Amino acid sequence: MFKSKKVRAGCVILSVGLLGWLYQMIGLWLDFRNVSPAGKLISINGHQMFVSASGQPNAKGTLVLSAGNGTSSPYADFYPLTEAMKQYTRVVTYERPGYGWSEATDASRDIDTITNELRQLLQQSGERPPYIILGHSMGALEGIRFAQLYPDEVSGLIMLDGISPEYARDTDMDWGYKMGWYMIEGAKKLGVLRGLSDLGMMNDSFKDMKDLPLSIEKLKVSMILKNANNRMMLEERKQFHKNGLKLLEHGKVGDIPVLVLSAPNNGYPNWREVQRELMSISSKATQKSYIRAGHYIHHDYPQDVNNRILNFIRSIPLQANAVKNS
């Protein structure tokens, strides 16, 4: 009797799980059946990576936008910033493997692999240096590493509430963090997140940007339901410690201009110190703090962030190689 109850319970659980998985798969198909990327996919090291570019080249540099860890759709996340900046300069948004439209990869998620994927993507898509690399959160590490490896190709760095090499070095994924990560990933795969979204119960989390065009808002939500907490994002987190050590080993970026936009009260511990550490990365660093902003400053204060970035670009000295490349 008890055995048969266990068997029935197991069958019920298996059936519910299967139905949830089918619900998720059908939802993904419906989400993307008539949608085409607003950019192009380029093969980098055997996997497809997405890049979108707009605006005219600027001798000061092309603005390259690098999203933070876990931002499921960098294209949608940076859309308002791209629309504002493309009137003044060339803007490139790209998506790392496992993000947005980009395919997953088996390649390591160490900082050198990530940085060289970006460089190859820029080269193969026809974008020419110098670059002004804007990194949100984890993307700041990528910008710093790019400047360390290819200083002649970088005219400026923008840290959008970025994490410092010291913060990355000291970050560890404890069991509680891992458990929460896998729970969200499981809820995504079994259609639970999709169900909550369809019922409107995730609006505050998924639709956290004002005045987005409806098509971009839908894309943002669909990409969350497709990519949230995937393997690529987890592998990036696992590499934080080693990546931080590597950046610290190679030191500062000299006198490359750096703009640090900070949200010191965003809820992360010791975040003021993290932002001070970023300020020390260059001898020419300036900072603006947004006391009431969350980690996604560009969502909370889009107009001011846009203006700060534009003024920073205008302040960058014209490089000799920029004249030849423009």
Question: Where is 154: in which H helix or E strand?
Answer: strand 154-160
Sheet containing strand 131-136, strands side by side: 40-44, 47-54, 91-95, 62-66, 131-136, 154-160, 258-262, 285-289
- List beta partners, residue 259: 158, 286
Nearest-angstrom CA–CA distance, 246 and 204:
37
- List beta partners, residue 48: 43
In order of 123, 223, 298, 307, the CA distances from 43 in angstroms are: 12, 21, 30, 34
- Structural domain boundaries of the chain? 40-325
pLDDT digits (tens, 9 = 90+) for 154-207: 999 999 999 999 999 998 878 888 888 889 898 888 888 888 888 888 877 788
Nearest-angstrom CA–CA distance, 58 and 280:
27
Nearest-angstrom CA–CA distance, 109 and 115:
10
| Gap between the terminal Cα atoms of the chain | 79
Location of structure tokens 């080249």: 57
Residue 193: φ, ψ to 5°: -60, -40
Pairing of strands 285-289, 40-44: unpaired
Q: Which of the 8 DSSP states describes residue 271?
A: H
Question: Where is 114: in which H helix or E strand?
Answer: helix 111-124
Q: Which of the 8 DSSP states describes residue 151?
A: G
Which of 52, 256, 280 is CA-nearest to residue 154?
Answer: 256
The alpha carbon dihedral of 104, 106, 112, 118 has a sign of negative
C-beta of residue 136 within 8 angstroms of C-beta of residue 161: yes
Structural class in CATH, domain 40-325: alpha beta
Q: What is the pLDDT of residue 3?
A: 59
The Cβ-side half-sphere exposure at 118, using a 13 Å CA radius, reads: 31
Q: What is the pLDDT of residue 199?
A: 86
| Cα-trace Rg, the chain | 21
C-beta of residue 295 within 8 angstroms of C-beta of residue 160: no
Q: What is the pLDDT of residue 93?
A: 97
Task: Give the residue ranges of the chain where pLDDT is below 70.
Answer: 1-3, 5-13, 320-326
- List beta partners, residue 134: 65, 158
Q: Which of the 8 DSSP states describes residue 326?
A: -
pTM of the model: 0.91
DSSP for 124-144? Answer: HTT--S-EEEEEETTHHHHHH
